[in-house]
Amino acid sequence: MGNTGSTSRREQQAMHWERLTALPLTILSLGFLAAYAAPILDPQLNSAWTAVCRSATFIIWLLFWLDMVVRFVLHTQRRRFLREHLFDLAVLILPILRPLRAMRLVTVVLSLSRRTEVWVRGRLGIYVAATTVLLVLVASLAVLDAERGAPDPSITNYSDAVWWAAVTITTVGYGDFYPVTTEGRLVAVGLMIGGIGLIGFVTGSLATWIVDRVTGRDRHAAATADDVAALRQEIVALRQQLELSESTTPGESATPPVQPARTPHA
């Protein structure tokens, strides 16, 4: 009985922690994106501000670690928690390696994606569109960060990076821009994998919408034809009744009611 009460209390604490940290983690995710993007979008940013941005991204990344640890401690089934969050854990561990520092962006994408899922619950189209835009913008930052310092880079500014990300996620692949570094190619692989699911959903939804529109019009036309046919039948029936009523003589139509026989009183 005591274990049940303790488990219930820990579950309530875990739910309370998630509710308490939902908004702060969202704000931290946006702050991480801003701090990560500033030195990339402005290469002339002075060294002091660059150091501040790097420190901010590192501190926020550590706070994501803290959130993971707290949720693990509060979870009643910790092995199950680890199995369900292996990808999140890998995303938090891998950025320790210098060539994979852009993996921290995946943590931000996952955090914002979860918050978006809660806010637009029941509106799958909005969720997918927001996730797609977020993925394109984040991948653009990551590939530009990886490619800018490479010898003879193909992607040298953010507009080229956005164009490359849009072409890659839609699997068009013009080949006018492409990553030449290992880190940039890893970003490309992640973007391709994400694009398969997201763009596939968008394409499928669009095709379903078109089919529904076409078949809906056909059904509407068929229903209208049936209604007209039924209305014609009613008009014919009313016309027949009217003709029958006009052909009937007044004497025949006016039949006096039969009076009930009266019984004599005793």
pLDDT at residue 97, as a whole number: 45
Q: How high is the mean pLDDT in each 10-residue block of the chain (266 residues)? A: 64 83 83 88 89 89 87 85 76 55 62 59 66 85 87 90 91 87 87 80 73 64 69 84 72 49 48
- Extract the tokens encoding 51: 């150091």
The CATH number given to whatever domain includes residue 220 is 1.10.287.70
Cα distances (Å, whole numbers) of residue 94 to 104, 106, 139, 179, 265: 8, 11, 17, 21, 112
Q: Is the distance from CB of 80 to CB of 11 less than 8 angstroms?
A: no
Shared domain check, 114 and 2: yes
Shared domain check, 104 and 4: yes
Domain assignment of residue 47, yes or no: yes
Domain assignment of residue 5, yes or no: yes
Shared domain check, 138 and 89: no
pLDDT at residue 158, as a whole number: 92
Contacts of 162 (CB under 8 A, 6+ apart): 136, 137, 140
Shared domain check, 6 and 113: yes
Domain assignment of residue 108, yes or no: yes
Give me the number of domains the chain comprises: 2
Shared domain check, 184 and 128: yes
Shared domain check, 218 and 146: yes
Shared domain check, 208 and 132: yes
Shared domain check, 153 and 98: no
Helix axes 182-247, 158-169, angle to 10 degrees: 60
Closest C-alpha to 64, from 90, 39, 28, 96: 28
Structural domain harbouring 183: 124-235
Other Cβ atoms less than 10 A from the Cβ of 153: the count is 19
